[in-house]
Structure 1
Amino acid sequence: MEIRKLSKKDALFYCTRDEDHFFDRKAYGIKGDKVQKIAVAFANADGGEFVVGIADEKEEHEAFKRWKPVESIEKFNPIIQALNEIEPIIEYRCAFLRQDNISGYVLLITIEKGRQVHETAQKKVIVRQGAQSLELKGNLRISELAYAKGQRSYEDELTPDASIDELESSTYLAEFISHLPSDNIEPLDLLIKQNLVDKNWTPRVASMLLFAENPSAILTKQCAIKIARYDTTDEDPERDDLTNDIFSIEKPIYHQINDAYNIMVKLFEKNQVWTLDGLKIISYPKETIWELLVNAVLHRDYSISDNIFIGIFNDRVEIKSPGRLPGFVKVTNILDNRFSRNSKLVRLLSRYPNAPNKDLGEGVNTAFQKMKAIRKKEPEIIEDGNFLKVTIRHELNYPPDEVIMKFLDKFGEINNKQVRDLTGIRNASTISSIFSRMREKGILQKNDSTSSSNVTWSKAAIRV
């Protein structure tokens, strides 16, 4: 039995923390079936934690007043009994939180991700989706969950060559702990409780990916992010198209994500393209780039010794990550289903301030929606051999004729290069054919030019 003393600041964290895919809070008096629903949902998803003894913000607007402890630990026995009635049995830990100078306890329950499909005493299968615990209905959906549960993640493998002493003294681990709601967390305690080391103190792969200075060097597997810029729009670039903008990011994954995003933004500034607002630096919705980058890092297959590769082209971004889609997720259902290949990475990364995966479960949908909102083509996702490839194109999602007319409404004339930038059609002859067809329909006219390379088109003059 663990009794944990909290400062007022630490207690406030639990009173104000947003409920999400990994956290829930309930006032004391919650019924056993509700306890089982939350616990089963976490076990069937990626694990999580919930507190009992803190009122909801709807019941109590003042944060400090939400802390409503119970006078004795024994009062929580019915809750613990309810947890023990879940089938198959779940792996959980209880800690009794006590605030300085305030009597009574709040119960913190941590649920590990289960390796089987769990159900409540009422035989209901519940899964966590965002901040909700939802019943999973239908034999097919439950079978898919069972299949996914049978897949073991490489993040749980042991790394015998890794030093527990170096891990314990890692500055990245210290940084992570500094963001947690307690001033008294020992590194080894955290590693044990988060199942990042085994009983013999051997670190797991997840601990290296999260806290080692250079994970690739310790894991003897390539797990960095490589970024390169190509001065071309070709689908199969030549060696000569590769610029000197080549980067390799060898850091823990939290820092990999942030560094990679910042580099990508800087590389975008080196390329200008024609848009409906004129010649502009190429840009993509921040949420689209961010969410698809985070998705690549969190859900790649780390058992494959290869790096994530990001290609920055004149008209698109390609993100290629090792491993096909996990579990029952397919290219055709990726917007409707989610499965975490690396649940420890997902769960622990969410504990950072400004967590990269704060929109967990909605990230890919957000990436698509943001492109659609600005009338750009949605990202393309394909399984390419043993890799997943995502392509984000700088293309308007309008018919070419409509794009041309919109541009002419603003600028009066248009050329072949401008249409290629706007539509993503790479073949200059194809654009010329579109111009000719629109001329035959009396929509466009070809302007006088001294050379074929300077040809422009404008709206056809209205004949009276």
Structure 2
Amino acid sequence: MKVKEISFQEFRDLSLRDESHFYEKKSKLIAPKKLQKYAVSFGNADGGELIVGIKDNSDEPNPEKRWDGFSSIEDLNGLLQTLFNISPSLDLKYTILTCPSFKGYVIQINIERTAELHKTLDGEVYLRSGAQSIHIKDPQKIVELSYSKGTTTFEDQTLPEIPPEQITDAEEIKLFLKSFSPKTDALDFCVNQNLFTYKEWFPRVAAVLLFLPSPASLLPKKCSVKITRYNTNEEKPEREHLLNQETIDAPLYNCIKVTAKRITEIISSVTVMIKNSLVKMDYPQEAIWEIIVNSLVHRDYSISDDVHVLIYNNRIEILSPGKLPGYVTTSNILDARYARNPKIVRTLHRYPDPPNKDMGEGLNTAFQKMKERGLQPPIITEVGNYVKVTLPHLPMATPAESILKYLNNNPEITNKEVRELTGIKSENLVKAEFYKLRKAGFLERVPEKNSNKSAWKLTEAGRIESQKYS
């Protein structure tokens, strides 16, 4: 059994750390059934860390009094036996912690996600979601969970040709471990978190993506971000529409930050001419951030291609390699939780300012922020072997509201201008909107303009109505 002495400050860090999707702390008096519940829920989700011997916040309000150590190492045998009895077996590693300021022993258990569905001894299924271990009773949901857990992931692939020192000596892992508690060296961390194989110390793909300065130079697959700027609204841009293209290759945490920053910088310079007025493209930064995080964290790294960010004059498209994982569909994506790359997800969550702080809420945040900005919601589709998220720079207003609002500031409007305003692609659908507004008494044709130059203007009643949308 590995015994590690920690300082009072390191104990305090463990005591103060909020329980989350990846972390749970419990008193030594925890019942075996509850212990299995937490362990199984981590194993069925994305893995996590379970501390037994430090009371949770509800049991002891004072964080400095939460140490609740076992009297002897032998007292831990029953606890470990309870976990070893779980079938199928959990993939776990444990360390016994001591602290000079206290008596007794605390156990730190790291549980890995596996491809098997784990159950407690009484046959119950639990799944970690946020800071809760949820009891899954619905047979269909159990089947879906079992199916999704059988999915293999490229982040686990080993790279024997890369010396472990290339990762353990990397600047990124040194910076990461400065804030990690309890203190550990890079090799111990990589082995305990299953980023290296246990005996040979072969690095896994996840370790390279997380910590090497240029993952794309060492991985056999493409894994960078490519940002392309097109000066057009067209669905299929031509070569002459290409303004510039750049590639971002960095450790994942930095890659996310740099990508989000560059997108914001690029769109801040994009203006669109609408009826002699320049309108600046303006997106909520939170929406861009969350979608970039999702595209890099949940992509399929077995596909040799980059994440593509395409910036047009009226939209941003983000294409992430790989279809939606497991049982996730475009219909349930805001409710379903599934991590294709749990090691990456778990490690990024341990940064002081994690990019995936609100587990499972990223896309919901993107939708909410677009709504608050008055923009249409993101559009999520599967295109070939990619998940495409489109952020349209279009108002949430109905086509009729958009027409009236526009005419409140402009003397007339054409079919083409409505299509640019609303994103409607069909001329006939726009005509139908014009006819509805004419029937309501709000619009009339501009007399001197016909055929392909046809335009519409407000009636007196329309002018009054349009004031509502000023």
TM-score normalised to structure 1 length: 0.90
Map Cα deviations across residues 269-293 of structure 1 (whole Å, 9 max, x no partner): 0123599xx9653222333222211
Give, as a single letter, the amino acid of the residue that structure 2 aligns with 1:306. Answer: D
Mapped pair 1:45 → 2:45: yes
Aligned twin of 1:301: 300
SS at 1:378 equivalent: coil
The 5 Å alignment of 1:387-398 reads 387-398=386-397
Bigger drift between 201-210 and 360-369 goes to 360-369
Bigger drift between 371-380 and 335-344 goes to 371-380
Give, as a single letter, the amino acid of the residue that structure 2 aligns with 1:250. Answer: D
Identify if the C-alpha distance between structure 1 residues 360 and 274 changes in structure 2 by more than 3 Å, giving closer, same or farther.
Answer: farther
Give, as a single letter, the amino acid of the residue that structure 2 aligns with 1:206. Answer: A
Structure 1 residue 418, shift from structure 2 partner: 6.4
Q: Is the 8 A contact 2:349 2:355 kept in 1?
A: yes
Mapped pair 1:108 → 2:76: no
Aligned twin of 2:211: 211
Aligned twin of 2:11: 11
Identify if the C-alpha distance between structure 1 residues 422 and 53 changes in structure 2 by more than 3 Å, giving closer, same or farther.
Answer: farther
Identify if the C-alpha distance between structure 1 residues 78 and 201 changes in structure 2 by more than 3 Å, giving closer, same or farther.
Answer: closer
Aligned twin of 2:68: 68
Q: Is the 8 A contact 2:206 2:343 kept in 1?
A: yes
Q: Is the 8 A contact 2:14 2:182 kept in 1?
A: no
Aligned twin of 1:243: 243
Identify if the C-alpha distance between structure 1 residues 67 and 284 changes in structure 2 by more than 3 Å, giving closer, same or farther.
Answer: farther
Q: Is the 8 A contact 1:94 1:108 kept in 2?
A: yes
Structure 1 residue 90, shift from structure 2 partner: 0.9
Structure 1 residue 56, shift from structure 2 partner: 2.6
Q: Is the 8 A contact 2:8 2:101 kept in 1?
A: no
Structure 1 residue 430, shift from structure 2 partner: 6.2
Structure 1 residue 240, shift from structure 2 partner: 1.1
Aligned twin of 2:264: 265
Instruction: Report the Cα distance in structure 2 between the residues aligned to 1:412 and 1:353, rounded to whole angstroms.
Output: 50
Instruction: Report the Cα distance in structure 2 between the residues aligned to 1:137 and 1:432, rounded to whole angstroms.
Output: 52
SS at 1:206 equivalent: helix
Map Cα deviations across residues 405-436 of structure 1 (whole Å, 9 max, x no partner): 34556x47564576455422357786577446
Instruction: Report the Cα distance in structure 2 between the residues aligned to 1:174 and 1:448, rounded to whole angstroms.
Output: 72
Give, as a single letter, the amino acid of the residue that structure 1 aligns with 2:215. Answer: P
Bigger drift between 395-404 and 425-434 goes to 425-434
Map Cα deviations across residues 243-302 of structure 1 (whole Å, 9 max, x no partner): 13x220011111111110000111110123599xx9653222333222211111111111
Instruction: Report the Cα distance in structure 2 between the residues aligned to 1:280 and 1:449, rounded to whole angstroms.
Output: 29
Aligned twin of 2:158: 158
Aligned twin of 1:405: 404
Aligned twin of 1:290: 289
Q: Is the 8 A contact 1:326 1:339 kept in 2?
A: yes
Give, as a single letter, the amino acid of the residue that structure 1 aligns with 2:357. Answer: K
Bigger drift between 17-26 and 72-81 goes to 72-81
Map Cα deviations across residues 40-85 of structure 1 (whole Å, 9 max, x no partner): 0001111101212223323433332333334433333332222122
Aligned twin of 2:466: none
Q: Is the 8 A contact 2:264 2:285 kept in 1?
A: no
SS at 2:79 equivalent: helix
Structure 1 residue 458, shift from structure 2 partner: 3.9
Instruction: Report the Cα distance in structure 1 between the residues aligned to 2:308 and 2:196, rounded to whole angstroms.
Output: 30
Aligned twin of 1:354: 353
Map Cα deviations across residues 195-231 of structure 1 (whole Å, 9 max, x no partner): 2222222211111111112111111211000001111
CA RMSD of aligned residues (A): 2.8
Give, as a single letter, the amino acid of the residue that structure 1 aligns with 2:211. Answer: F
Aligned twin of 1:337: 336
Identify if the C-alpha distance between structure 1 residues 100 and 419 changes in structure 2 by more than 3 Å, giving closer, same or farther.
Answer: farther
Instruction: Report the Cα distance in structure 2 between the residues aligned to 1:240 and 1:273, rounded to whole angstroms.
Output: 18
SS at 2:191 equivalent: helix
Q: Is the 8 A contact 2:248 2:259 kept in 1?
A: yes
Map Cα deviations across residues 430-461 of structure 1 (whole Å, 9 max, x no partner): 65774465345420356799999997844525
SS at 1:219 equivalent: coil
Aligned twin of 1:137: 137
Q: Is the 8 A contact 2:67 2:102 kept in 1?
A: no
Instruction: Report the Cα distance in structure 1 between the residues aligned to 2:283 and 2:16, rounded to whole angstroms.
Output: 33
Identify if the C-alpha distance between structure 1 residues 160 and 77 changes in structure 2 by more than 3 Å, giving closer, same or farther.
Answer: closer
Identify if the C-alpha distance between structure 1 residues 217 and 261 changes in structure 2 by more than 3 Å, giving closer, same or farther.
Answer: same
Instruction: Report the Cα distance in structure 2 between the residues aligned to 1:59 and 1:459, rounded to whole angstroms.
Output: 70
Identify if the C-alpha distance between structure 1 residues 438 and 187 changes in structure 2 by more than 3 Å, giving closer, same or farther.
Answer: same
Bigger drift between 394-403 and 347-356 goes to 394-403
Q: Is the 8 A contact 2:110 2:192 kept in 1?
A: no
Instruction: Report the Cα distance in structure 2 between the residues aligned to 1:274 and 1:124, rounded to whole angstroms.
Output: 60
Quote the sequence identity (%).
Answer: 40
Aligned twin of 1:91: 91
Instruction: Report the Cα distance in structure 1 between the residues aligned to 2:231 and 2:325, rounded to whole angstroms.
Output: 33
Aligned twin of 2:117: 117
Give, as a single letter, the amino acid of the residue that structure 1 aligns with 2:359. Answer: L
Q: Is the 8 A contact 2:287 2:369 kept in 1?
A: yes
Instruction: Report the Cα distance in structure 2 between the residues aligned to 1:20 and 1:414, rounded to whole angstroms.
Output: 55
Instruction: Report the Cα distance in structure 2 between the residues aligned to 1:325 and 1:462, rounded to whole angstroms.
Output: 46
Aligned twin of 1:442: 441
Structure 1 residue 400, shift from structure 2 partner: 0.8
Structure 2: give runs of 5+ residues left out of the alignment.
Answer: 464-470
Mapped pair 1:27 → 2:27: yes
SS at 1:292 equivalent: helix
Give, as a single letter, the amino acid of the residue that structure 1 aligns with 2:94. Answer: C
TM-score normalised to structure 2 length: 0.89
Instruction: Report the Cα distance in structure 2 between the residues aligned to 1:79 and 1:36, rounded to whole angstroms.
Output: 10
